[in-house]
A and B are shown apart, each in its own frame.
Chain A
């Protein structure tokens, strides 16, 4: 193993320690990752653009701070892959859409600013399904990303560029956004840890909005502790987002460290029957259920008490989600009007704004975005609003009540993160409903706004499986504590982290 490849295989904690001790410089670390991107991203297509100059300048700033004796944050100098839905001042941002090709944002998102302030080095912007609508990156306006475990398979979505980058050795940390599962599902199918924070736990200021009542940014990492450290960096109250929660950030790093000791004595773990349990296993691969079942047995071995819980309204989550998300998207995407930013088509001096707008949106949006805008337009139209959008918002309440009842019987709830392992590229592109089913397990926590993490449980047919751990609102630390216990027990049993089994290309 060369020095450069050991730098790109390490965890964020390991890399930060090497930089803090002076064994390597932040510039060397960044250059090693840029080299890796140059050699491997042709096959993975994780990045839409790489900011070589910006990354090296950020790394040098960290080295200069260290040389000046300034204290560095816990992730200073560590490279990161940033999903292209997050705006970056001076660096092109497209949200995976041709309608925004070439757009240079005039401001930083709050999380961009926090990442920069922590000395974390942004390597570039990662691929995604257009406007985060999808589960595979195949809806990107710029071509799909590929799963590092098997290049013919999807890396999950919509944050699939970030998952491919972190699993594929191009960056130790990644940022995703999760509206219906877009962090947890890609984490699951690439063997990573990915967390969707409590809605309002991380600022949405500067995220290009898809579904405002659901969108939430969160971290990807190769370990639970790395993921927790990035969570603490980006989370916390922000006056620029009126839905941001004015409360302290849950102690996720302390929880990850405590959980690694592996003691779950007294913890009540609720297995959700409606998510792959007895009588509800249709659409779930047996290998996924087996792997998740083994992880639950591991929890029992660590002292947890396992109970089965029932959440009867979870069966309506998919339907409610595919009304609420398109409705909010149809409203949010009305901002792409060919006036203030992005593409303009057909402005010949004769056509009026309405016509230019329609031609621009036709040329700039891909098929899934058009489908969702039209579904949302339908669901919000007069005469249908109450039956569709209004009813879906009430179903959210019933799902939240199911969670509340289940959290009376259990401290955390568990399920598979997604019903199948990574499917082949192209397998579901002609069938929108089959694509939507990838979010089956992640949607309830999205609709309730509650936190949930995906942590690797093992392999099925040589491909990663994710265990989802759900907790009550603002109890994100519980997700991390339990995930760290599962991770350390499984790593000990296996003798190495799961990611080491990724095939070498």
Chain B
């Protein structure tokens, strides 16, 4: 596999919403490259006609009764939030214009 550059790692960090430092970019670029190189050999297995697996016991169409049940209490939920206002989560601005 191609080597992962510092810029590649910066792009991944942006996609993953991680404000990594310059120092970390240097460290992670080397480490991620080693890790990805070592796992790339999964591609060596001939598996074109092999179906993927996700569960030891295949399950389909899982449903449960459409019945009322207990739900979380809003006060308890909002008490655990980093910021709440007027019974809702308070969020920083989500659009890219200045406030």
Contact = CB atoms under 8 A, between A and B. Distances in A.
A341 B52 contact: no
B39 interface: yes
A245 B19 CA distance: 40
B99 interface: yes
Contact of B38 (A239, A319, A393): A319
- Interface residue range, chain B: 35 or more
B17 A358 contact: yes
A103 interface: yes
A453 to B, nearest CB: 16
Interface of B: 4, 9, 12-21, 24, 27-28, 31-32, 34-36, 38-43, 45, 47, 50-57, 59, 62, 64, 72-73, 76-77, 79-83, 89, 91-96, 98-99
B18 A371 contact: no
Contact of A200 (B28, B52, B55): B55
B36 A375 contact: yes
A359 B13 CA distance: 11
A319 B94 contact: no
Interface in A295-342: 313, 316, 318-320, 322-323, 330, 334, 337-342
A398 B57 contact: no
Given A350-B99, A396-B52, A433-B35, A391 B9 contact: no
B55 A213 contact: yes
Contacts of A352: 92-96
B19 to A, nearest CB: 4
B21 to A, nearest CB: 8
Interface in A367-420: 367, 370-371, 373-375, 377-378, 381, 387-388, 390-398, 400
B38 A433 contact: yes
B56 A106 contact: no
A472 to B, nearest CB: 9
A356 interface: yes
Given A105-B80, A365-B18, A375-B35, A199 B56 contact: yes
A448 B55 CA distance: 7
A394 B39 contact: no
Most chain A beta carbons < 10 A, residue from B24, B28, B40, B82:
B82
